[in-house]
Amino acid sequence: MDRQPPTQAQHAVRSSSDATASTSRTRFSHIYALQVQGFIEAAEVVDVHTDIVEDLLEDLARATSLESGNDEEEVDVDVESTTMNLDHEVETVEWGMLLKEAKQAWTREEVKQMMTTLKEHGMTAFIMKYYVDRHILVPKLLYAFGICLCPELREKPQATQLYFLKVALQRELECREKLTQYKTIEDAVLLIQQRQRILILTGAGISVSCGIPDFRSRNGLYASLQESGEYDLDDPQQMFDINYFREKPTVFYSFASKIYSSNFKPSPCHRFIKAIEDRGKNYTQNIDTLETSAGVKRVLQCHGSFATASCLNCKIRVPGTDIEDDILNHNVPLCKVCNATLPAKQKPKKKRKSSGWNSDQSDEPDPPEFPPGIMKPDITFFGEKLSDEFDKALLEDRQQIDLLIIIGTSLKVTPVSDIIGSHVWLFEGAEGGKWVEDIARRYADDSEGEASDEADDTPPPPPNPRQKAKRARLD
């Protein structure tokens, strides 16, 4: 039978189907674009590898293209059947299934327990408990924080998805109430006088008045490196990148004298830390050792310092003063042990190319500029793990302190930034601890609306002994 031309009614159905598909497509693309944009903006707060950001920027370009309708692949309406394209039907069903899954993923009690873990123990402990130990996938964990990842972002590598989780955790940790009882300098002074176990977390800001630039401010170290163009850097953070240091140690040592501690004196802030040392401990992210110069002994160098130096080859550690002259004279210090074992040899002549022409070019590659035994200050570069001493101290001190003071840091680098989540007392009744009431209010209305017909006579769980102990220390 010959195919009949479409009737006016069929034209109307086709137009309606086309519009429905377009609306559905635009809606889903808009969600995709918004989520990608949000995760990109969060990179200003949450530490993330540049490869992840670049990948998300590509996603943003694609999402924007889909949203504007410029992607030719998305224009595909089944004309003959006059129904919405199957891809869009599948997309609609998929989103519906994801939203249903999100609602059923966690009970309110489970979410409250997860928030307790995060608020009391911090981001690292949360990730270790739920992601590492329990092997719960990131998309499911995000449901607890009200985030339903779009299908495109669920296909990202684990490292990228873990970044998504850190963004959600950081957002939750930032939701902290202002302590209205502490408004003036006098209030802060009184609080310091009353506390017996004080932890002070310091950053580069406390050394700016000494003449040492901070890192991330408008006029900070990274901005100056970017503006000057004096060093061979694609990104200013390469100055403290371990892989770049191994390739070009001369770049770091041509700059290191500008932040070396022997050129500077402690500030009043360093002396303040010394004044309360008998009641506290200092975690510092600074590498300038000015706390030590001020006489502070109970100090943990979270990111290392110039106080010692180690050989990249044999790992021997020496006092930082052993390489001080090289730093001040912009020389690359070499390990005396490694170089002592190297026999003195005359530099061999390169073999010329075996060709019919008398050429000075060589078949052999150029020898390395430096021997393997290069000394590096024991500063934690990007790409290096913090010392075990930091993890041990963090675990021990978090149960002991009754006041955390943060000075001169933007808290953008993990895991030091986790201290604010793992040290501050965030349970009901403690200083700053109103979050339990917030969580209760958040779920109270829904709980009342969905209460079971059967009365729940289960008694409330007994209070945590550790929480009792912490409350007692406030009295």
Catalytic residue numbers read: 303
Kindly list the distances between the CA atom of residue 362 and the CA atoms of 233, 349, 350, 357, 368, in Å, as whole numbers in the listed order.
Answer: 30, 10, 6, 12, 15
210 is in an annotated binding site: no
Please state whether beta strands 198-202 and 280-284 pair in parallel, antiparallel, or not at all (unpaired).
parallel
| Whole-number Å distance between alpha carbons of 376 and 312 | 7
Residue 406 · residue 420 · CB < 8 Å: yes
127: which DSSP letter? Answer: I
| Whole-number Å distance between alpha carbons of 12 and 342 | 86
Q: Closest Cα to residue 259, out of 375, 373, 379, 370?
A: 379
338 is in an annotated binding site: yes
Got the DSSP string for 276-298?
Answer: TGGGEEEEE--SS-HHHHTT--S
175 is in an annotated binding site: no
| Whole-number Å distance between alpha carbons of 322 and 310 | 11
Residue 288 · residue 206 · CB < 8 Å: no
Amino acid at 248: K
| Whole-number Å distance between alpha carbons of 405 and 126 | 23
Per-residue burial over 403-414, b if 16 or more Cβ lie within 10 Å, else e, is bbbbebbbbebb
386: which DSSP letter? Answer: P
Q: Closest Cα to residue 252, out of 287, 217, 299, 283?
A: 287
148 is in an annotated binding site: no
Helix (H) or strand (E) holding 247: helix 242-247
- What ranges in 334-425 are assigned the alpha helix state H? 336-340, 388-397, 419-423
Q: Closest Cα to residue 313, out of 339, 287, 332, 331?
A: 339
| Whole-number Å distance between alpha carbons of 446 and 432 | 26
128: which DSSP letter? Answer: I
Q: Closest Cα to residue 169, out of 203, 202, 199, 146?
A: 146
Beta strands in 28-163 (DSSP E): none
Residue list for the binding site: 311, 314, 335, 338
Annotated binding site for Zn(2+): 311, 314, 335, 338
